[in-house]
């Protein structure tokens, strides 16, 4: 993509009305725009990152055998009354229509997916199956101060599985954990599996937490054996012995990037979700639900992958694979030649399947182009100038040193992980 065709939302300074670093840097670098507390627009660069995160998640969901759907955002009140969450869920956004009828804006989708699931289930032969979506959720969050980590409107992947038996649900739950581990590894994140709540419920629900200072949760964590529990349900102190290996526990901040539950009959019961078993008896369906915070993940990555010059995206989720910069210089004739060479390289890279952001803008100084490239944080920077002659200067965002290579040698630098 030619940068001359890309509107620049880059700002000279960090926004003053934003407390969270992830949102500050993403706004400054032109990835998102703040509309109000907890509500953001995703701009061309930001949407690219979001799509890449989505696609990593989507690929693993499909491998798990789950089927993608899209459910509505606008929900009938009756469904939420059936589960008593119309009155009990404090973050539920409610909407009143002109005829005074009330609706909910979906904060999660058990109330829609359970009755939907019934339409595909008659007998045990129809089970198991799983449905997922990647969709905007709404929650009336009381403390939307963490930027993308806690939106009032945010993007989530939610997966729901349907089973005949508890054993089958448990088996699937383990596969889902494996899929989640693979997703976070693909994203370059070290996510720890955390027991979500204490007592009898703990083995039926887990969180995936990325340990970052900006995280809102406190995690009791053992660096030795990776035992982890949410502090909400654990009164351990830093230095206490780990219940699993005896090493000293630490308290760490964490951002919950995923949350999985064995719902069992919690939502199938209120909706009468049932199947006919082999012996002809009517039985209640078992359900599981599995969430991932897609837009929260983008915020977590911004918190993790940056330096004092700006963002520094891992190749797997970067908005582009390479950032090609042309510096045509003051001399018009020589500049024309440099531009022709850079155009040629751009075409060559594009033809080779490299997703390139091409800074072909004129009237912008070399210093500004470099500073903006560092701020945007594409993993590989390529420079074509009078100085580089027939060659191109290649530099990784994370390195200080650059190398000069021939045009036909540039591609491998851009497709590396």
Sheet holding 322-327, edge to edge: 356-359, 322-327, 380-385, 391-396, 402-406
Instruction: Compare residues 107 and 379 and give the one whose CB is closer to ligand ATP.
Output: 107
| Rounded least distance, CB 166 to ligand ATP, Å | 21
Q: Which is nearer to Mg ion, 194 or 242 (CB)?
A: 194
Q: What mask, x for binding ligand ATP by CB under 6 A, covers residues 145 to 184?
A: -----xx--x-x----------------------------
The verdict on 209 binding ligand ATP (CB under 6 A) reads no
CB of 154 to ligand ATP, least distance (A): 4
Closest contact distance (angstroms) between CB of 117 and Mg ion is: 23
Q: Is 259 in the site for ligand ATP (CB under 6 A)?
A: yes
Name the binder of 130 from Mg ion, ligand ATP, none, CB < 5-8 A by kind: none
Least distance (Å) between residue 216 CB and ligand ATP: 7
Q: Which is nearer to ligand ATP, 150 or 163 (CB)?
A: 150
Q: How many CA atoms lie within 13 A of 69 on its CB side?
A: 17
The answer for residues whose C-beta is within 8 angstroms of residue 339's C-beta and 6 or more apart is 326, 328, 360
Residue listed under structure tokens 């994370």: 398
Task: Report if residue 306 touches ligand ATP, rule: CB under 6 A.
Answer: no
Q: What is the per-residue binding string for ligand ATP in 218-257, x denoting contact by CB under 6 A?
A: --------------------------------------xx
Counting contacts by CB under 6 A, is residue 86 touching ligand ATP? no
Among residues 251 and 415, whose Cβ is nearest to Mg ion?
251
Minimum distance from residue 259 beta carbon to Mg ion (Å): 5
Residue 141 contact, options Mg ion, ligand ATP, none, Cβ 5-8 Å cut-off depending on partner type: ligand ATP
Determine contact, residues 234/279, Cβ cutoff 8 Å. Answer: no
Residue from 258, 270, 288, 379 binding ligand ATP (CB under 6 A): 258
Per-residue interface string for the shown chain with ligand ATP, residues 275-304, x marking contact by CB under 6 A: ----------------x-x-xx--------
Looking at 22, 108, 229, 328, which residue binds ligand ATP (CB under 6 A)? 108
141 binds ligand ATP (CB under 6 A): yes
Contact mark string toward ligand ATP, 32..71, x via CB under 6 A: ----------------------------------------
Cα–Cα–Cα angle for 240, 245, 250, rounded to 5 degrees: 35
List interacting residues with Mg ion (CB under 5 A): 256, 259
CA distances from 148 to 145, 223, 355 (A): 9, 27, 26
Considering CB distances under 5 to 8 angstroms, the limit depending on partner class, which of ligand ATP, Mg ion, none binds residue 385?
none
Q: Which does 193 bind (CB under 5 to 8 A by kind): Mg ion, ligand ATP, none?
A: none
**Residues interacting with ligand ATP, by CB under 6 A?**
108, 139, 141, 150-151, 154, 156, 256-259, 291, 293, 295-296
């Amino acid at each position: 993509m030619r940068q001359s065709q890309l509107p620049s939302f880059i700002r000279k300074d960090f926004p003053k009305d934003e407390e969270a670093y992830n949102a500050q840097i993403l706004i400054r670098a032109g990835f998102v725009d703040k509309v109000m507390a907890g509500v953001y627009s995703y701009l061309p660069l930001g949407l690219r990152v979001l799509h890449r995160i989505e696609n990593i998640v989507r690929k693993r969901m499909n491998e798990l055998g789950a089927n993608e759907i899209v459910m509505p955002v606008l929900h009938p009140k009756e469904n939420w009354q059936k589960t008593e969450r119309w009155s009990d869920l404090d973050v539920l956004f409610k909407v009143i229509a002109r005829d005074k009828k009330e609706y909910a804006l979906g904060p999660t989708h058990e109330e829609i997916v359970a009755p939907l699931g019934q339409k595909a289930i008659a007998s045990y032969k129809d089970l198991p199956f799983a449905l997922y979506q990647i969709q905007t959720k709404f929650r009336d969050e009381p403390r939307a101060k963490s930027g993308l980590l806690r939106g009032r409107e945010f993007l989530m992947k939610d997966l729901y599985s349907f089973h005949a038996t508890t054993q089958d649900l448990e088996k699937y739950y383990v596969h889902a954990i494996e899929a989640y581990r693979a997703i976070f590894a693909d994203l370059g994140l070290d996510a720890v599996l955390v027991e979500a709540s204490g007592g009898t419920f703990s083995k039926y629900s887990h969180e995936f937490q990325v340990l970052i200072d900006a995280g809102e949760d406190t995690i009791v964590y053992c660096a030795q054996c990776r035992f982890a529990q949410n502090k909400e349900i654990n009164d351990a102190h830093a230095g206490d012995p780990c219940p699993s290996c005896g090493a000293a526990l630490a308290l760490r901040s964490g951002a919950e990037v995923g949350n999985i539950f064995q719902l069992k009959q919690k939502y199938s019961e209120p909706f009468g979700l049932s199947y006919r078993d082999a012996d002809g008896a009517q039985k209640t369906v078992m359900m599981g639900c599995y969430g991932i915070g897609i837009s929260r993940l983008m915020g977590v990555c911004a918190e993790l992958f940056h330096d004092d010059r700006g963002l520094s995206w891992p190749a797997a989720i970067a908005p582009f694979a390479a950032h090609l910069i042309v510096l045509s210089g003051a001399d018009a004739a020589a500049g024309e030649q440099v531009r022709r060479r850079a155009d040629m390289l751009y075409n060559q890279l594009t033809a080779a399947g490299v997703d390139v952001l091409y800074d072909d803008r004129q009237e912008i100084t070399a210093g500004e182009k470099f500073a903006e490239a560092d701020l945007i944080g594409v993993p590989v920077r390529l420079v074509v100038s009078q100085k580089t002659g027939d060659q191109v200067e290649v530099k990784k965002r994370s390195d200080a040193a650059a190398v000069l290579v021939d045009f036909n040698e540039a591609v491998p630098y851009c497709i590396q992980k």
